[in-house]
A = this chain, B = another copy of it.
Amino acid sequence: MSKNMIIGQSGGPTAVINASLAGAIECAFALDEIGTVYGMVNGIQGLLDDNVIDLNERFENNLSRLNRLSMTPAMYLGSCRYKLSDDDSEYEKIIEALKKYDIGYFFYIGGNDSMDTVDKLSRYAVKNNIDIKIVGIPKTIDNDLMGIDHSPGFGSAAKYIALAVRNVAYDTSIYSIKSVHIIEAMGRNAGWLAASSVLARDSKNVAPHLIYLPEIPFSAQRFVNDVKEKLSEYNSVIVVASEGLKDENGEYISAKNNVDKFGHVMLSGTGNYLKSLVEEHIGCKVRALEPSILQRSAGHTASLTDMTEAQNLGAVAVRAAVRGETGVFSTLHRTSDNPYSIKYSTEKVSVIANAEKTVPLEWITESKNDVTQEMVDYLKPLVRGMPQVPYRDGLPDYVGIAYLDMKKQKYKD
């Protein structure tokens, strides 16, 4: 006897969250155990508001549209940042909503916070003998999830950063005057994205010249000395800095310290602070670049490796739920760097929830301003391949957004 499934997306966007959605949908369509595939619009919040849509209507018998969905950045179903309370009545409401749609399988694509939701909800269901399998599908550009070799979304953002740094290196190399360009990468307290700028280097380009990760306490004095030393060798010096750099006292060097409701500190201004150090202590031409959200939503330059893995992790989660697993997330482990090889499996979601995986200190050079070959070997396979994004009039022909679909009452775009 088949049961229906429901899927939602949560947290911040990446270039390939919709690939996980498409992978889960495609897998579900092929399984007899699953009836209708529903989507929560704006995550758990949408479920509570009965903002639920039928994904069979939108994608069954239209696999080419499902393929385009994989290549559409951000979240087709919309997001939310909804933190489950510990109040039983909230869980009861969720279970009630799920029963209304005869849901046997619940999937949530997201990061640490979303996995916390999966963890709590699955424990509640088990404790109360409710037969709904609850499974997480991981994502985050920050690559700070535990229990997985690297998180889907990271490879595409890493590729964006490496592309940007390589292009900026060419752009800034053309003048014979001294200049410093500082590129601020996202990543909160983990330096993975800043580190991935190392991939911009090849036999023709040595930039970035300096890379600063939040795993190492930041010293303004050391930074100024580093930049001066590089300027003595190169006209154009490119610095990549992680948004989450902290000084020796553990204070963010960024001016603004706003805290969101999960207790995450929201940062901005790290690049601008470093720029002011160069202005004050060196005095050459200096620019701070902040790709900001452009680095997480660049569907047109996603990594094919990342996109394929995101799709597969969607399918792995669906098969695990149908096999009877709950309170787990789909994951991947690396078996070899070269040739690159991974194995998919599932793991208890408790290992991922509310924890952060930072860069191992031994992957940072002794000079504290660069990364080691181990880091390069780790990163290199993750950015490979370009998806064949369909273009129309010179721009990517993405699938629309679910809530706009609803407004317009048209599902085929």
- A227–B305 CA distance with the chains assembled, in angstroms: 40
B176 touches A42 (CB 8 A): yes
- A297–B183 CA distance with the chains assembled, in angstroms: 15
Q: How far does the Cβ of A58 sit from chain B's closest Cβ, in whole Å?
A: 13
Asked, given contacts A72-B170, A293-B168, whether A395 binds B300 with beta carbons under 8 Å apart, the answer is no
On chain B, the residues within 8 Å of A294 by CB distance are 164, 167-168, 289, 291, 294
> CB-nearest residue of chain B relative to A10?
B174
Binary CB contact string for chain A from 70 to 99 against chain B (1 if under 8 A, 0 otherwise) = 001111001111000000000000000000
A287 touches B292 (CB 8 A): yes
On chain B, the residues within 8 Å of A173 by CB distance are 74, 78, 401, 403-404
B79 touches A175 (CB 8 A): yes
Q: How far does the Cβ of A329 sit from chain B's closest Cβ, in whole Å?
A: 21
A413 touches B175 (CB 8 A): no
Binary CB contact string for chain A from 393 to 409 against chain B (1 if under 8 A, 0 otherwise) = 11111111101100000
A386 within 8 A of B: yes
Count of chain copies: 2
- A87–B386 CA distance with the chains assembled, in angstroms: 53
Binary CB contact string for chain A from 150 to 176 against chain B (1 if under 8 A, 0 otherwise) = 000000000100111011101111111
Asked, given contacts A171-B13, A401-B204, whether A166 binds B292 with beta carbons under 8 Å apart, the answer is no
A283 within 8 A of B: no
B395 touches A170 (CB 8 A): no
> CB-nearest residue of chain B relative to A203?
B413
> CB-nearest residue of chain B relative to A42?
B176
On chain B, the residues within 8 Å of A380 by CB distance are 393-394
Partner of A290, one of B164, B172, B181, B290: B290
- A391–B305 CA distance with the chains assembled, in angstroms: 14
Asked, given contacts A175-B79, A287-B292, A300-B301, whether A202 binds B392 with beta carbons under 8 Å apart, the answer is yes
- A202–B204 CA distance with the chains assembled, in angstroms: 39
Q: How far does the Cβ of A172 sit from chain B's closest Cβ, in whole Å?
A: 7
Q: How far does the Cβ of A53 sit from chain B's closest Cβ, in whole Å?
A: 15
A199 touches B287 (CB 8 A): no
A301 touches B299 (CB 8 A): no
On chain B, the residues within 8 Å of A403 by CB distance are 173
A132 within 8 A of B: no
Q: How far does the Cβ of A396 sit from chain B's closest Cβ, in whole Å?
A: 7
Partner of A172, one of B205, B293, B384: B293
A385 within 8 A of B: yes
Partner of A298, one of B72, B75, B167, B172: B167
Q: How far does the Cβ of A398 sit from chain B's closest Cβ, in whole Å?
A: 7
On chain B, the residues within 8 Å of A174 by CB distance are 9, 13, 42, 74-75, 78-79, 401
A117 within 8 A of B: no
A188 within 8 A of B: no
On chain B, the residues within 8 Å of A300 by CB distance are 163, 167, 301
B384 touches A394 (CB 8 A): yes
On chain B, the residues within 8 Å of A331 by CB distance are none
Interface residue ranges of A47-76 to B (CB < 8 Å): 72-75
A200 within 8 A of B: yes
A204 touches B289 (CB 8 A): no
- A391–B290 CA distance with the chains assembled, in angstroms: 25
Q: 5 A-B Cβ contacts within 8 A?
A: A72-B170, A78-B176, A202-B393, A204-B401, A300-B301
Known: A163-B300, A171-B296. 14 other contacts (CB 8 A): A13-B170, A73-B170, A81-B175, A163-B396, A164-B294, A167-B299, A167-B300, A181-B293, A202-B393, A203-B413, A383-B393, A383-B394, A384-B393, A384-B394
